[in-house]
Amino acid sequence: MRSIAFVFPGQGSQYVGMGADLITRSPSAATAYERADAALGIPLSRLILEGPADELDLTINAQPAILATSYAYLQALRDEAREAGIELIPRAMAGHSAGQYAAAVAADAIDYADALRLVRERGRIMQERGIAGGMGAVIGLSDEQVGEIVDAAREHGEISVANANAPGQIVLSGVIPALVFALEMSKTVGARKAARLAVSVASHSPLMRRARDEFARILARVPFRDPQVPMLGNVHATIISTADGLRVELTEHLVHGVQWTESVRSMVGSGITDFVEVGPGRVLSGLIRRISPESGTHQVDLSADRSWLAGLREAPA
């Protein structure tokens, strides 16, 4: 018997033209884009489909764009499963960073329009209220080695692990002097790659405290419901089952790292056999294969090939 989880990508997965194939083949997906434009009062769908890329990549645009595209794929996927007579019932949901908002919508914990407005505000606040810094990827070192490097780099300022994405794949976040020191030290001790990311904010770090505090006040005014499907949190890689728990998670993950490796391991340990990446790109599928090679991974951002759906026909009810 197969047991599936839906996983939703975060910022960095966006690209101009994502979801373009959906517009012609899925009325539900087209409606999802129309609803996004209406909720935000801007032509978001045109930016997604036509660019320019530098404008789409702005945090304030990228986060709602990824949410809208993920939701469009979700609606199309559900339609395809129903038409094929397949009961596609996820047993868990997880989102990577901003992808948690798409997961929350999919779990019926927040309305789609509210989530769109929230992620746009989240992007704005992160850009305006976060202390200037940056992020960098380190590939090929153990968690212990990265921990020692971070400890040494703190002599140069605030720095921490932002994303534990997979074994040997870590993202750091902090002030520039500490980040530069950590990346150079990573190269010295044998990292296969240690490079700055093209971002101007230090996401998932204590440098986002002011952003967190302002965003918490906004979150308090938005209605949430208990998730109808268990969600895995980024902060502690534990189950979120209440509206209050989700609100706390979305507040605190601004200043804490994304524990993606542990989230995937937790889902596998609970019996999840297959992960469906619902959204643009295939980044999460690649990470999951590194974390749990025995798990099945499936993407919706792949032309019209849905042959893997038939293999999930036996998903338990």
Tokens 């044998």 belong to residue: 190
DSSP states of 3-70? -EEEEE--TT---TTTTHHHHHH-HHHHHHHHHHHHHHTS-HHHHHHH--HHHHTSHHHHHHHHHHHH
- Name the pairing type of β-strands 231-232 and 90-95: parallel
| Radius of gyration for the alpha carbons in the chain, expressed in angstroms and rounded | 19
Buried b or exposed e, range 268-277, using 16+ CB within 10 angstroms:
beeebbbbbb
Please tell me the distance from the alpha carbon of residue 307 to that of residue 254, in angstroms, as a whole number.
Answer: 37
Q: Is the Cα dihedral 275, 285, 211, 121 positive or negative?
A: negative
Q: How far is CA 60 from CA 49, 118, 179, 212, 223, in A?
A: 17, 10, 24, 16, 22
Catalytic residue annotation: 97, 204
Q: Which two tokens stand for residue 236?
A: 């502690």
H or E stretch including 170?
A: strand 169-174
Report the amino acid identity of residue 115: A
- In the chain, the N- to C-terminal Cα span, in Å, equals 10
User: 298 in helix, strand or coil?
Assistant: strand
What is the C-alpha to C-alpha distance for residues 239 and 95, in angstroms, rounded to an integer? 12
